[in-house]
Amino acid sequence: MNGGARIAGTPASRSSEMLLLFSLSGETFGITVSNVSEVLDPIPPTEIPNADPFAAAVVNVRGAIVPLIDIRRRLRIRVTTEDGDTRIVVLDLPIGGVPTKIAMIADAVTKVIETDLGALEPIPELGARWPKKFVEGVARHDGDLVVLLDPQTLFDPDEPTAPDMQETTT
């Protein structure tokens, strides 16, 4: 059931970087491909009672118990229930010096692009709804804005969770 595609890729050169693009509540985000281990179809989660809503559950990824993380809780994006193309992006990140697997929820995974890191723009002061520290910058792709996330701050386990966002159920 976990028939996901493995994504292989290394940065093509120093200044250009392969990004995996995914969407969350209508916004497009990017994360460097070198952090991505695989993309999977949804896995039934096991909720951890009383856990931080940012990491509310765990999932079984090929025999490993991996935290399931909803980055919308940190980016202050409303959580909408969509019956779309939900995917789980499995990341391999060093956290506190320890290689750690993380499963991140994405509404959809769109594509892999190559982008010039030199051309990153800072996020605009106005209308920046997400906390700046989680964002490395904004890139333009096909006329759209792609928000490049900083995995080291975004997945910092010691980061306090923002006050609860009201869940919208439509």
Partner 1 sequence: MSDTATTMFVQEARDLLEGLEDMLLDLEADPRPEKVDAVFRALHTIKGSGAMFGFDDLSQFTHHFEDAFDKVREGRLAVDGRLVDLSLRARDLMRSLLEDAEGARTREAEARAVLIRATADLTGPGTQADRATSAQAAAPPKEATRFDIFFRPAPDDLINGMRPDLLIEEIGALGPISVALDLGRVPPLDDLDPTRCWLGWHMSLTTSQGEDALRDVFIFADEAELTITPHTAMAAPEPDSPAPDDPAPARDAAVTRGGGSIRVESQRLDDMMDRLGELVIVQARLDQISRRIGDPMLETVVEEIDRLVTGLRDTTLSTRMLPIEMVFGKFRRVVRDLSGELEKTVALVTEGGETEIDKSVIDKLSEPLVHMIRNAIDHGIDDAETRRKAGKPAGGTVRLSATQEGGEVLITIADDGRGLDADAIRARAVERGLIEEAAVLSEAELHQLIFAPGFSTAKELTSISGRGVGMDAVKTTVDALRGQIQVASTAGRGTAITLRLPVSLAIIDGLLVRLGDAVYVIPLSSVEECVELDLAERHRESGRTMLQIRETLVPFLDLADIFNQPASTEPRRRVVIVRADGARLGLVVDDILGQNQTVIKTLSVFHRDVAGFAGATILGDGAVALILDVAVMIRTALEARDTPSVRLRRQAR
Q: 79 vs 95, which CB is nearer to partner 1?
A: 95
Minimum Å gap between C-beta 46 and partner 1 is 4
* E strand intervals along the chain: 16-24, 27-32, 36-40, 46-47, 57-61, 64-69, 87-95, 98-106, 108-116, 135-141, 144-149
Cβ atoms of 5 and 112 within 8 Å: the answer is no
Q: Which is nearer to partner 1, 27 or 52 (CB)?
A: 52
Query: Shortest Cβ distance from residue 103 to partner 1 (Å)?
Result: 10
Q: Please report how close the Cβ of residue 13 comes to partner 1 at its closest, in angstroms.
A: 33
Smallest gap, in angstroms, from Cβ of residue 141 to partner 1? Answer: 31
Residue 161, burial from CB neighbour count under 10 angstroms (0-12, 13-18, 19+): exposed
Contact residues for 23 (Cβ-Cβ < 8 A; gap 6+): 29, 106, 107, 108, 110
Tokens (6 digits) for 59: 């999932």
> What six digits make up the tokens of 101?
């697997």
For partner 1, the closer of residues 55 and 135 by Cβ is: 55
Enumerate binding residues for partner 1 (CB under 8 A).
44, 46-52, 54-55, 58-60, 63-67, 69, 95-96, 98, 100, 102, 157
Task: Tell me how far, at minimum, the Cβ of 5 lies from partner 1, in Å.
Answer: 20
Q: Most distant CA pair in the chain: distance in Å?
A: 44
Strand order from edge to edge, sheet including 108-116: 108-116, 16-24, 27-32, 144-149, 135-141
- Measured from the CB atom, the residue of 62 and 140 that comes closer to partner 1 is 62
The smaller minimum CB distance to partner 1, of residues 29 and 54, is found at: 54
